[in-house]
Amino acid sequence: MRLDTAVFGGGCFWCLEAVFKMIKGVKKVESGYAGGSAQDPTYQKVCSGTTGHAEVVRIHYDPEKVSYRLLLEIFFASHDPTTLNRQGNDMGTQYRSIILYTTPEQEKAARDYVQELKDDKAYPAMIVTEVEPLEKFYMGEDYHQDYFANNERAPYCRSVVSPKVNKAKNEFKAVLK
């Protein structure tokens, strides 16, 4: 089985990780950092806003079972692509909306989908999602992996992650594991 990868940032990586782990064809989701210039970033450094990195998820998926286009649709449904450097109360460049493509086909698909959303006026405000090449993905610390599954009762998970998971469950029932 050949796996492809997709890398998205849309606020806190815990939210996106929890959503994408539920999707058929997604084999693995890793929380980490990308999109900046600092070498070997840590959570503390990324949170300082000085690394240029965003909190992102790297999704390993079977393209025979889930398309990159569907992953883009889920990504946009799982965050607000119109808020610059912010998702809810999480503020800073590390929470920006970003698609980090790994192939020319992904770049085209991402740019085409963003343009389609703009043309359809899918959002009341301008989409600010960046579309950039993935230079390097840095794996997040162990305690960030499977965070929602391991901390479902934590206040942040209950108030921020759970609503996004529930929304995805309702909107993407047909493609849930």
List 12, 15, 47, 157, catalytic entry: 12
101 CB contacts (<8 Å, ≥6 apart)? 7, 107, 110, 131, 132, 133, 134
* Backbone phi, psi, residue 94, to 5°: -70, -15
Dist CA 89 CA 35 (whole Å): 21
Task: Decide: 53 and 33 in contact? Cβ < 8 Å.
Answer: yes
Active site residue 47: no
Catalytic residues: 12
